């Protein structure tokens, strides 16, 4: 059993896609063990995406991620990290496989509907960024 952090990004929340995305998550045998709505502050978005701060799209990404509410979730299941990355599809929806969340719903390489942790180390850091131990029993 493994856990990963999922974020349903502002583009998808705005278009009422939380239910559609959760259905795909659950169909693929991942359990949503924690979930809440959050509006990221500029500081929080800059800190969460700190690894990208030298990239040309950093300011635009922070503006996008703070443009509306997000749904942050902890998913649990076998190989949850890799499994969710597969369900999400490639970063650029043009490259994403048929049936993936990003192929189905993403608007652009930036407004690509979902985030999922990319390693076990990052999953632990990202889950702790949003959820306290009490919320994860």
Residues annotated as catalytic are: 115
Q: How far apart are CA 78 and CA 82, in angstroms?
A: 9
57 binds ligand GDP (CB under 6 A): yes
Decide if 112 contacts 91 (C-beta within 8 A): yes
Q: How far apart are CA 3 and CA 73, in angstroms?
A: 10
CB of 49 to ligand GDP, least distance (A): 6
| Residues 22, 19, 60, 43, CA torsion sign | negative
* Contacts to ligand GDP from residues 64-103, by CB under 6 A: 91
* Shorter beta-carbon distance to ligand GDP: residue 44 or 110: 110
62 closest CA partner among 72, 75, 51:
51
Task: Give the containing element (helix H, strand E) for 35.
Answer: strand 31-38
| Interface pick for ligand GDP out of 109, 120, 122, 124 (rule CB under 6 A) | 109
* Shorter beta-carbon distance to ligand GDP: residue 47 or 91: 91
Instruction: From 18-26, 67-75, 104-112, 119-127, give the range in contact with ligand GDP by CB under 6 A.
Output: 104-112
Give contact residues for ligand GDP (rule: CB under 6 A).
57, 60-61, 91, 109-110, 112, 115, 118
């Amino acid at each position: 059993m493994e856990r990963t952090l999922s974020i349903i990004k502002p583009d998808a929340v705005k278009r009422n896609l939380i239910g559609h995305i959760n259905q795909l998550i659950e169909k693929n045998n991942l359990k949503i063990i924690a979930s809440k709505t959050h509006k990221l502050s500029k500081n929080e978005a800059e800190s969460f995406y700190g690894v990208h701060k030298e990239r040309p799209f950093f300011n635009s990404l922070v503006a996008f991620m703070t443009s509306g509410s997000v749904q942050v979730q902890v998913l649990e299941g076998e190989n949850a990290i890799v499994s969710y990355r597969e369900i999400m599809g490639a970063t650029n929806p043009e490259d994403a496989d048929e049936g993936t969340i990003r192929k189905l719903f993403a608007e652009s390489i930036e407004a690509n509907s979902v985030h999922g942790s990319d390693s076990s180390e990052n999953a632990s850091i990202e889950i702790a960024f949003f959820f306290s131990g009490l919320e994860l029993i």
